[in-house]
A and B are shown apart, each in its own frame.
Chain A
Amino acid sequence: MAKSPETEHPQRAFGWAARDPSGVLSPFNFSRRENGDEDVTIKIHFCGICHSDLHSIKNEWGIARYPIVPGSCDYCNQQLENYCPKMTFTYGSIDRDGTPTYGGYSDIVVVDQHFVVRFPDSMPFDAGAPLLCAGVTVYSPMKYYGMADGPAGKHLGVVGLGGLGHVAVKIGKAFGLKVTVISHSPGKEGEAVGRLGADGFVVSSDPLQIKAAVGSMDYIIDTVSAVHVLTPLLALLKTNGKLITLGLPDKPLELPIAPLVLGRKLVGGSDIGGMKETQEMLDFCAKHNITADVEVIPMNQVNVAMARLAKSDVRYRFVIDVANSLSK
């Protein structure tokens, strides 16, 4: 007979959880395990709201186990733990002791030290938190697929200017890449070029702009999680170009094969990053003064934030001020 979330473990914890696919979050009493020999107990100050949290709480991928306390603000990785077939997610997984994992929309978390990273002193907590998912999610494929290898002047396209996309622009520029943002919203050009430092902007729904940019990019990072067409994106790649897709649509995408064959192009995936790489990413971002652009909110605004996130109405990540606003 399963114990209740409150009595499962010895340390009391409090957070906000979704109970069902409506995704509405509400106060939730639960518990954390005793701090073991290899464990670190962390008082949570901030936790970013990642779009995956929204997908999860609404069971858009069909794998939800309620109640779900989202929040992978303290996700951690070395080497390739992120590709381990038995990896445990920060939330929504079953941990080694058989109990469900609860994420960072909560006051404390207890984590094996291997999966904890050090936050650089020069990096503000609130603006740095989203790097733990968004940052490593774009940093890792940039390294793995050779975008950071040079020579200088390689051209990266970033599809989607949201939580992932805006961080990709910053990290891409820090790697010395020429960066073009590809977006269906013409209104984002000012931000992309003016504020975030992108070198160019292509409106994906404008065939003339796409045509002008055909065969111009060495790489494309596609952050869009909605189902979308790949054909125009593949056309933007040069010969040997690589389209790396990071979003998780709930249906398969249509992949035209002729562009791959005729241009020796490829479509690859990437999923967050390992522990060592996450630490490396944080240190790289600290060195280059890279943080996310955030809107800090109190916990009791989290459902409003989710509704706005569903409409992409955020520049560019919500961060929950957990320590100051999570009252029992």
Chain B
Amino acid sequence: MVGNQPEKEHPVPAFGLAARDQSGVLSPFNFSRRATGEKDVKFKVIYCGICHSDLHMIKNEWGTSTYPLVPGHEIVGEVTEVGSQVEKFKVGDRVGVGCIVGSCRSCDNCSNSIENYCPKMILTYAGTYHDGTVTYGGYSDVMVCDEHFVVRVPDALPLDAAAPLLCAGITLYSPLRYYGLDKPGIHLGIVGLGGLGHVGVKFAKAMGAKVTVISTSPAKKQEAIERHGADSFLVSRDQEQMKAAMGTLDGIIDTVSAVHPIMPLIGLLKTHGKLVLVGAPEKPLELPVFPLLMGRKIVGGSCIGGMKETQEMLDFAAKHNITADIEVIPADYVNTAMQRLEKGDVKYRFVIDVAKTMQA
């Protein structure tokens, strides 16, 4: 179906970077935002983090992308206008928007503040808004969003390093709470030391856990321990190390989205241990049933978090000085950044300096 004319759809001119097709190459894109509704918050985007999901989506790797596609769901900025019924925000506030911009607001999940599990949740980009228009994300100069889906970025957090918390941060914080892996003294494993993993180490340490990073790359050991504060490091391909660590972990958060074996991870768990996956490999994984039964272990999943919890996560991060480790880039570097991201060549999140470098 041929557009919708992005520039004319709405009254407020907007500028951003969009992918036009499955090549995923991003290029300048003129479009528009809706007028600030009664419950809407309009803000100038200052920074936007680059999440690995953005890379999957611009290339249509999940088969759900529609073009043109403006990615970006780790968005922070400053409020420029609020609707007449907005209660939580005022002009000048430091705010953020994460992965969702709408939900049905009436189902059990929405009522329980887990809008992220609402069957009708609306994604920040490549989704369809209530008015039938396509949602465009944060690789752009301005955002208009319902206040329910806007969070306050605490003053104690620098905007650029806080941006990735809106996706990576909540993606780790939520399962640590839900699966009871936030108790002081527990021994937690984190698989993968990328955008998600490195933030996970910080949250887990702040919650009082002993943290072991589990990775395929021995080269990451030094950073894991010296820079991120992990207590130990396991090379998952090293059978002897893995064997020695069997039955030592209360929980594991697995951030890896590639297909990989989970049997060795289940073996690392103590009785009653919990393996929680936050990446979704595209093929089913092999589940060995004996170890699950013999140790009464679980394998569960988790996907971002609800709005209430996202705010709670930011407040927790402010209290414990947790931010992402970032590389700030200008808007015209974004395609190079995507290529580097594909190879895992970033420590540990790219953040686009939108306010200073993204202009029509």
Contacts and interface: CB of A to CB of B under 8 A. Distances in A.
B296 A261 contact: no
B81 to A, nearest CB: 34
Contacts of B91: none
Interface stretch (A99-107, A111-119, A264-272): A264-272
Contact of A264 (B262, B284, B290, B301): B301
B300 interface: yes
A292 B286 CA distance: 34
Contact of B292 (A215, A258, A260, A267): A267
Contact of A83 (B262, B277, B288, B295): B295
Contact of A267 (B109, B290, B299): B299
A270 B285 CA distance: 20
Given A262-B303, A264-B117, A269 B278 contact: no
Interface residues of B, number: 35
A268 B301 contact: no
A263 B277 CA distance: 12
Contacts of A240: 117
Interface string B247-272: 00000000000000011000000011
A267 B109 CA distance: 20
Contacts of A252: 263, 286-289
A255 interface: yes
Contacts of B294: 83, 269, 271
Contact of A253 (B278, B287, B298, B300): B287
Contact of A245 (B263, B271, B284, B293): B293
A27 B294 CA distance: 32
A57 B298 CA distance: 29
B212 interface: no
Contact of B284 (A256, A269, A270): A256
Interface residues of A, number: 33
A248 interface: yes
A239 interface: yes
Nearest to B119: A215
A252 B178 CA distance: 27
B299 A260 contact: yes
B297 interface: yes
B242 interface: no
Interface in B166-222: 178
A260 B117 contact: no
Pairs A-B, 10 closest by C-beta atoms: A260-B301, A266-B300, A269-B292, A261-B301, A269-B293, A255-B287, A268-B298, A254-B284, A252-B286, A239-B117
Given A245-B289, A253-B289, A268-B299, 16 more contacts: A83-B272, A231-B284, A239-B109, A249-B289, A255-B284, A257-B277, A260-B299, A261-B280, A261-B303, A262-B117, A262-B280, A263-B301, A264-B300, A266-B298, A266-B301, A271-B293
8 contacts: A83-B272, A240-B117, A252-B263, A261-B277, A261-B278, A263-B117, A265-B301, A266-B301
